[in-house]
């Protein structure tokens, strides 16, 4: 059988999609981890920031060399960049034999066949229905313990800076039956943790024959499948974080106590321009609700610095909301203008890059302090960890995560990957907790 090598960039949704792609092609190709022996290389791409796209262009230059060495090698580009740049990519990147957008993966066998006959082929049609719901992903890169399960696709929010609604199309949910079926199979294979994925999971909604399923209801259904199965989710938009969902997280021990709640900015002026639909105050009200109902819950976030017109005061509002919430962890970015978005049409990208860098550094430094303070509060506490693998530093040590999604390193002793172990934290760095078991 021919050999397929897949390289994935971008968000967890893309990693989940690559598993779907591997499944669609499994009759034609077996997977390889050695790019040298590949007959087909697929690059699953991300368009979220300019840097992400530059990285892919650079990678395509490198792939040209492989193609010179092996004439029969085919290279295909998948994902958000395929959607954003469409046919233009085929013209400017001769290394590509075909491109397929995020809703076009079922047509991959056809695209590959067409391109073998000398046609450059592409399919970047977006769909209102496609959820790949009957396709069982091939978990080729998983650790055998923890898996991603895609439950919805697309996004309807149109935050003014963001390219995702254009690259992923309209929001659509996958049927509960196929989601539960997929998790049932994971349980049979001894998986212990699932992360339910979507760009905006809490707007998950399914209605069929009088049965209505909200995201909170779906979470409860998954949590009830097995007390030994940990359930996580990503990402939730603050505007849809319902009391029902917070109560559901509180009700089940096996729903992890960690909520990723991207704030983007602490300034009402910026939030309004970003079209985030919440205010600083309504965001903080959700945080108070989480802290009241889930006292041990970690809260993590995404932050953008240097959005159009961001003043120093606006920036200080971001720093102060970070302190007020006390995030456990944050993904922090400089604003990157994306063609086609509302912001690119209406708001100038007017903060100089050096100033964006300076603000980003401030945000990163503050998050370092907050993460360290949070970790110091954990010293002396005992947590249940799900063991994921050997620690990078030493084979005598294992690592796993607690419910709050913090990485904990502890002595191997007789513990196995996939075990739940109770460990007591003795020391910490800003990034990890060290423990005894
Ligand atoms: N759907 C998720 C996030 C998807 S993208 C949500 O809304 O929470 C992940 C993160 O990338 C966003 O939360 C945002 O912080 C960042 N991001 C998106 N577009 C960006 C842009 N144009 N420039 C910089 N960061 C961006
Ligand atoms: Fe982008 Fe906003 Fe949708 Fe998130 S919710 S994917 S930031 S448009
Ligand atoms: Fe990137 Fe597309 Fe995900 S733009 S962040 S791969 S949805």
**How far is residue 425 from each of residues 12, 178, 230, 278, measured CA to CA in Å?**
29, 39, 21, 37
Neighbours of 357 (CB within 10 A): 13
CATH of the domain at 62: 3.40.50.12160
Closest ligand to C-alpha of residue 199 is 1
Radius of gyration (C-alpha) of the chain in whole angstroms = 22
Span 131-160, mean pLDDT? 94
Asked if residue 166 has its Cβ within 6 Å of ligand 1, the reply is: no
Q: Which of these three, 86, 102, 123, is where a domain ends?
A: 123
- Residue 223: name the closest of 202, 181, 194, 182 by CA: 194
* 159 C-alpha to ligand 2 centroid (Å): 5
- For residue 119, what are the domain limits? 2-123
Q: Which of these three, 123, 146, 181, is where a domain ends?
A: 123
**Which helix (H) or strand (E) element contains residue 86?**
none
Is 356 within a domain? no
Asked if residue 81 has its Cβ within 6 Å of ligand 3, the reply is: no
Report residue 116's pLDDT band, with 50, 70 and 90 as the boundaries: confident
pLDDT at 178: 96
Span 214-237, mean pLDDT? 97
Asked if residue 333 has its Cβ within 6 Å of ligand 1, the reply is: yes
DSSP 279: -
pLDDT at 102: 97
Is 424 within a domain? yes
If one compares 142 and 324, the residue with the highest pLDDT of the two is 324
Closest ligand to C-alpha of residue 153 is 3
* 203 C-alpha to ligand 2 centroid (Å): 12
**Which helix (H) or strand (E) element contains residue 301?**
strand 298-305
pLDDT at 403: 98
Asked if residue 82 has its Cβ within 6 Å of ligand 3, the reply is: no
pLDDT at 226: 97
* 272 C-alpha to ligand 2 centroid (Å): 14
Asked if residue 308 has its Cβ within 6 Å of ligand 1, the reply is: no
Question: Which ligand 2 atom sits closest to the C-alpha of 200?
Answer: 5
Report residue 395's pLDDT band, with 50, 70 and 90 as the boundaries: confident
Closest ligand to C-alpha of residue 157 is 2
Is 270 within a domain? no
- Residue 216: name the closest of 204, 200, 227, 229 by CA: 204
Mutate to test the pocket of ligand 2, among 102, 165, 270 (most ligand atoms within 8 A of CB): 165
Asked if residue 46 has its Cβ within 6 Å of ligand 2, the reply is: no
* 307 C-alpha to ligand 2 centroid (Å): 15
Average pLDDT, the chain: 96
Span 45-66, mean pLDDT? 96
Separation between Cα atoms, residue 387 and residue 412, nearest integer Å: 10
Report residue 142's pLDDT band, with 50, 70 and 90 as the boundaries: confident
pLDDT at 360: 98
Separation between Cα atoms, residue 34 and residue 41, nearest integer Å: 11
Report residue 119's pLDDT band, with 50, 70 and 90 as the boundaries: confident
Q: At residue 367, what are phi and psi to the nearest 5 degrees?
A: -60, -35
Residue 120 has pLDDT above 80, yes or no: no
Span 213-221, mean pLDDT? 97
Residue 158 has pLDDT above 90, yes or no: yes
Report residue 4's pLDDT band, with 50, 70 and 90 as the boundaries: very high
- Residue 270: name the closest of 375, 179, 160, 191 by CA: 160
Question: Which ligand 3 atom sits closest to the C-alpha of 80?
Answer: 2
- Residue 341: name the closest of 130, 50, 57 by CA: 50
Summarize pLDDT for 183-200 with one digit per residue, the tens: 999 999 999 999 999 999
Q: Which of these three, 105, 123, 141, is where a domain ends?
A: 123
Is 307 within a domain? no
Summarize pLDDT for 252-306 with one digit per residue, the tens: 999 999 999 999 999 999 999 999 999 999 999 999 999 999 999 999 999 999 9
Q: Which residues of 287-324 are buried (b: 16+ CB within 10 A; e: fewer)?
A: beebeeebeebbbbbebbbbbbebeeebbebbbebbee
Angle at 51 between CA 276 and CA 149, to 5 degrees: 60
* 391 C-alpha to ligand 3 centroid (Å): 29
* 23 C-alpha to ligand 1 centroid (Å): 28
Percent of the chain residues past pLDDT 90, beyond the cut: 92
* 374 C-alpha to ligand 2 centroid (Å): 28
Separation between Cα atoms, residue 285 and residue 291, nearest integer Å: 10
Report residue 35's pLDDT band, with 50, 70 and 90 as the boundaries: very high
Is 280 within a domain? no
Span 344-373, mean pLDDT? 98
Cis peptide before 239 (omega within 30 of 0): no
Residue 118 has pLDDT above 80, yes or no: no
SS3 164: helix
pLDDT at 225: 98
CATH of the domain at 406: 2.40.50.140
Mutate to test the pocket of ligand 1, among 12, 162, 340 (most ligand atoms within 8 A of CB): 162
Span 335-348, mean pLDDT? 97
Task: Give helix 108-116 / helix 12-24 axis angle, nearest 10°.
Answer: 70
Is 357 within a domain? no
Span 169-193, mean pLDDT? 96
Return the structure tokens found at 158.
Answer: 């149109």
Asked if residue 165 has its Cβ within 6 Å of ligand 3, the reply is: no
| Number of compact structural domains in the chain | 2
Report residue 393's pLDDT band, with 50, 70 and 90 as the boundaries: confident
Summarize pLDDT for 318-327 with one digit per residue, the tens: 999 999 999 9
Report residue 122's pLDDT band, with 50, 70 and 90 as the boundaries: confident
- Residue 368: name the closest of 320, 314, 429 by CA: 429
pLDDT at 121: 87
Is 143 within a domain? no
Contacts of 210 (CB under 8 A, 6+ apart): none
Span 146-164, mean pLDDT? 97
Mutate to test the pocket of ligand 1, among 11, 195, 197, 262 (most ligand atoms within 8 A of CB): 262
Return the structure tokens found at 184.
Answer: 């049932």
Concatenate the DSSP letters of all residues of 317-377 into one string.
HHHHHHHHHT-SEEEEEE----TTSHHHHHS---S-HHHHHHHHHHHHHHHHHHHHHHHHH
Is 72 within a domain? yes
């Amino acid at each position: 059988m021919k050999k397929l090598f897949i390289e994935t960039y971008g968000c967890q949704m893309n990693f989940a999609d690559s598993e779907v792609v591997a499944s669609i092609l499994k009759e034609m190709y077996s997977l390889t981890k050695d790019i040298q022996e590949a007959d087909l290389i697929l690059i699953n791409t991300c368009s979220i920031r300019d840097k992400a796209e530059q990285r892919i262009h650079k990678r395509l230059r490198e792939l040209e060399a492989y193609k010179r060495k092996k004439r029969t090698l085919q290279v295909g580009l998948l994902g958000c960049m395929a959607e954003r740049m469409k046919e233009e990519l085929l013209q400017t990147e001769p290394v590509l034999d075909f491109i397929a957008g995020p809703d076009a993966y079922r047509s991959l066998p056809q695209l590959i066949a067409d391109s073998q006959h000398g046609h450059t082929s592409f399919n970047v049609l977006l769909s209102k229905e496609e959820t790949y719901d009957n396709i069982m992903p091939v978990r080729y890169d998983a650790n055998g313990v923890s898996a991603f399960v895609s439950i919805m696709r697309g996004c309807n929010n149109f935050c003014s800076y963001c390219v995702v609604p254009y690259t992923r199309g309209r929001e659509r949910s996958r049927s509960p039956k196929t989601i539960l079926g997929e998790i049932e199979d994971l349980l049979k294979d001894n998986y212990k943790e699932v992360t339910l994925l979507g760009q905006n999971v809490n707007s998950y909604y399914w209605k069929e024959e009088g049965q209505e399923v909200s995201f909170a209801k779906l979470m409860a259904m998954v949590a009830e499948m097995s007390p030994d199965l940990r359930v996580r989710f990503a990402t939730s938009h603050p505007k849809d974080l319902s009391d029902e969902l917070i109560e559901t997280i509180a009700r089940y021990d096996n729903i992890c106590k960690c909520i990723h709640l991207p704030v983007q900015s602490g300034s009402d002026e910026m939030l309004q321009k970003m079209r985030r639909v919440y205010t600083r105050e309504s965001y903080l009200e959700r945080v108070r609700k989480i802290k009241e109902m889930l006292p041990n819950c970690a809260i993590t976030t995404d932050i953008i610095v240097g959005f159009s017109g961001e003043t120093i005061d606006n920036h200080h509002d971001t720093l102060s909301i970070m302190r007020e919430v006390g995030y456990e962890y944050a993904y922090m970015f400089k604003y990157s203008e994306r063609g086609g978005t509302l912001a690119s049409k209406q708001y100038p990208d007017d903060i100089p890059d050096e100033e964006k860098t300076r603000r980003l550094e401030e945000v990163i430094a503050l998050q370092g302090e907050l993460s360290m303070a949070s970790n110091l509060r954990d010293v002396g506490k005992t947590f249940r960890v799900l063991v994921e693998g050997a620690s990078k530093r030493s084979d005598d040590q294992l690592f796993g995560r607690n419910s709050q999604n913090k990485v904990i390193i502890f002595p191997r002793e007789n513990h196995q990957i996939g075990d739940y172990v109770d460990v007591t934290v003795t020391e910490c760095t800003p990034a990890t907790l060290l423990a005894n078991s």
